[in-house]
Structure 1
């Protein structure tokens, strides 16, 4: 009787755990160095492919000013190109991804506007403008099952990104570690409960001591 109660109890505990999205930061990129093109040192990082103009920036190499104000982590992703794309990692069996949002900043002291465009099945499906300054700010997009995102940057501006919420779909290989969802904990709990029940049923029965 006690063993039978373990299964729903574990399920309730798993349901109470908070859900986590697929957070992609740039603190542990393999082979990273200051100003390294991400597409060259770790293409497929986070389960997606990165445009050739994205480069890694180390915060302790900044001397102050807008760079320091725009600091998010020890490493961030940056670009000065007018078009910057993020695509599924086809080589890793990822054919689309969810783009929930991320932290954005700019070098422009007066602020600037970035335009983000999302595609699905080769057609433009979403478009959103965000106004950013040197202080990092989180922007939500919640674009589901997208085949690509393009970030447009004005001439003379520099885009700074960190803590992106990217969830590759139908992927079997990612360089960035995946964070278990509550459903994963529930399955682990069910497996453990089944193992305990099986061992209990196989154990020899002992007579109760005489009273």
Structure 2
């Protein structure tokens, strides 16, 4: 009985933390298509997140490996379905939640668009996060690997309404964005002044009560 009470108390304390954990990965797997050529969605939605572009998107089919394109033998598919902004040179990608709520961007995989437009030293991809309530945060990544995806980590990209980044030479594709769903609606309480939810308070109280019962039994 003592063991069960201890386990109940631990679960009651940890339950609110597990409820808050809502990380998701956007991998563009629904776009996976065999053959050569490209899938060309105007916008793209997955797991409650929306990608929009001023020029539409492209996604290489699984057979786009070492094929002739515009007189060049190119590789576009690096073993995982990804997305790229089709507005080469002036494309802008915007990421947001479908329901308009806030979110957190943790990481992203980036690669060169193909083995013709390879990356050059000093070429960066800059991401701008639009923070809920005002203000922005920016972070730039420099790619050094041309024919495979590298993972880049964001710092401070939290409580966001949207994230935007441009498609400039030498062009890139992106995959496996790790995001936190955040709240159902944008938070109105300033950070540091969060008020515990009634459910969280009740669970915490249950855990403390169970611990108290165990202590009384031990001291008798």
Normalization by structure 2: what TM-score? 0.58
Once residues 49 and 178 of structure 2 are traced to their aligned partners in structure 1, the CA distance between those partners, rounded to angstroms, is 12
Give secondary structure in 1 for the equivalent of 2:111: strand
Equivalent of residue 154 in structure 1, options 164, 168, 182:
168
| Residues 1:159 and 1:56: Cα distance change in structure 2 (over 3 Å) | same
**SS of equivalent residue, structure 1 residue 61:** coil
Taking a change above 3 Å as real, the CA distance of residues 6 and 123 of structure 1, as seen in their structure-2 partners, is: closer
CA contact under 8 A between 1:94 and 1:169: conserved in structure 2?
no
Match of 2:141 in 1: 130
Task: Give the whole-Å Cα distance in 1 for the aligned partners of 2:38 and 2:162.
Answer: 26
Cα distance change, pair 13–55 in 1 and its aligned pair in 2 (3 A): same
SS in 2 for 1:102: strand
Name the structure 2 match of 1:168.
181
CA distance in 1, matches of 2:33, 2:64: 17
Paired with 2:83 and 2:168, the residues of 1 have a C-alpha distance of 17
Which structure 2 residue ranges, 5 or more long, are not aligned? Answer: 68-73, 186-199, 204-220
Alignment of 1:173-188 (within 5 A): none
Counterpart for residue 183 of structure 1: none
Structure with the larger helix share = 1
Per-residue deviation at 1:6? 4.5
Cα distance between partner residues in 1 of 2:168 and 2:31: 27
- C-alpha spacing 1:137/1:20, structure 2 compared with 1 (3 Å): farther
**Alpha-carbon offset, residue 161 of structure 1:** 0.7
| Residue 118 of structure 2: aligned partner | 109
Q: Secondary structure at the match of 1:93?
A: coil
* Structure 2 residue 76 is matched with structure 1 residue 67: yes
Distance 1:110 1:5 in 2: 56
TM-aligned CA distance change 1:80 to 1:113, over 3 Å: farther
Equivalenced residues, count = 165
- TM-score, length-scaled by structure 1: 0.61
Once the two structures are TM-superposed, the CA of residue 12 in structure 1 deviates from its matched residue by 9.4
- Alignment pair present for 1:57 and 2:60: yes
Task: Confirm or deny: 8 A CA contact 1:76 1:161 kept in the other structure.
Answer: yes
How far did 1:34 drift?
Answer: 3.6
Cα distance between partner residues in 2 of 1:54 and 1:167: 23
